[in-house]
């Protein structure tokens, strides 16, 4: 008597699961162990790519889910399909977002099966210091997701007044913190926004 043929599994276990998170809404959870540098999930399995100056891209930016890729394209996730765009922010992230190509989430450190996959949003706001309260729950949570720049910061950032000195101390502390979580590139966005803010105040 011959053994019946073993059927191949109909589906393979997906490497991540999308489910409710204690941080906020749905999150992305590992279903297997990931090593540092592993790609965890595509940013948006279904997406559209628009030109940077496309009006639709500017409108889509309000969702905070768009991703500028290679300086030319804006990736707009189709939210009918779950993906890395569902990753929550953490002040102590275990993964990071890479925007080249189609965009992906990649491990910064090993991630255990069952652990939530988190990234650092790197949002920079202008005169809205409390826009994005953080509920990441990590030991070194900074309370707000965003780093805020105020008009006062822009006016005094290069002066040796108490306001200028206080801003530069905060700026340096944030740079040190970003370096410690492998997100030093966020300083470029802060410097660029600060430059624009200073120009707008000079006018």
Nearer to Zn ion, 42 or 134 (CB): 134
- The two three-digit tokens of residue 175, written as one number: 């740079």
Residue 142 beta carbon to Zn ion: minimum distance, rounded to whole angstroms = 6
Residue 53 beta carbon to Zn ion: minimum distance, rounded to whole angstroms = 34
Nearer to Zn ion, 23 or 102 (CB): 23
Kindly list the distances between the CA atom of residue 172 and the CA atoms of 73, 143, 169, 177, 178, in Å, as whole numbers in the listed order.
31, 18, 5, 9, 10
- Is 117 a binding residue for Zn ion by CB under 5 A? The answer is no
Residue 166 beta carbon to Zn ion: minimum distance, rounded to whole angstroms = 23
Residue 147 beta carbon to Zn ion: minimum distance, rounded to whole angstroms = 12
Q: How far apart are CA 82 and CA 79, in angstroms?
A: 6
The answer to whether 97 touches 83, Cβ cutoff 8 Å, is no
- Segment lying near Zn ion (by CB under 5 A), choices 10-18, 89-97, 98-106, 158-166: 89-97
- Segment lying near Zn ion (by CB under 5 A), choices 44-52, 91-99, 155-163, 174-182: 91-99
Nearer to Zn ion, 141 or 157 (CB): 141
- Is 181 a binding residue for Zn ion by CB under 5 A? The answer is no
Closest CA relative to residue 68, chosen from 105, 101, 39: 101
Residue 123 exposed, middle or buried by CB count within 10 Å (0-12, 13-18, 19+): middle
Nearer to Zn ion, 79 or 92 (CB): 92
Q: How many chain residues touch Zn ion (CB under 5 A)?
A: 4
Nearer to Zn ion, 42 or 93 (CB): 93
Phi, psi of 35 (to 5 degrees): -95, 160
The answer to whether 20 touches 26, Cβ cutoff 8 Å, is yes
User: By CB under 5 A, what part of segment 121-160 binds Zn ion?
Assistant: 134, 136, 141
Q: End-to-end alpha-carbon separation of the chain, Å? A: 89
Binding site for Zn ion (CB under 5 A): 91, 134, 136, 141
């Amino acid at each position: 008597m011959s053994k019946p043929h073993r059927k191949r599994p109909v589906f393979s276990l997906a490497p991540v699961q999308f489910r409710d998170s204690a941080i906020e809404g749905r999150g992305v959870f590992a279903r297997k162990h990931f090593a540092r540098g592993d790609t965890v999930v595509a940013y948006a399995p279904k997406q559209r790519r628009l030109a940077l100056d496309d009006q639709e891209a500017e409108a889509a930016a309000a969702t905070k889910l768009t991703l500028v890729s290679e300086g030319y394209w804006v990736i707009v996730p189709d939210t009918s399909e779950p993906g890395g765009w569902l990753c929550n922010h953490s002040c102590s992230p275990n993964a990071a977002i890479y925007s080249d190509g189609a965009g992906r989430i990649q491990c910064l450190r090993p991630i255990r099966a069952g652990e939530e996959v988190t990234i650092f949003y790197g949002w920079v706001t202008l005169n809205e210091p409390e826009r994005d309260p953080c509920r990441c729950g990590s030991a070194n949570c900074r309370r707000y997701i965003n780093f805020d720049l105020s008009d006062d910061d822009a006016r005094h950032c290069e002066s040796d007044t108490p306001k200028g000195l206080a801003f530069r101390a905060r700026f340096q502390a944030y740079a040190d913190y970003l370096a410690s979580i492998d997100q030093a590139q966020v300083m470029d966005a802060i410097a660029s926004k600060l430059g624009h803010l200073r120009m707008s105040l000079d006018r």
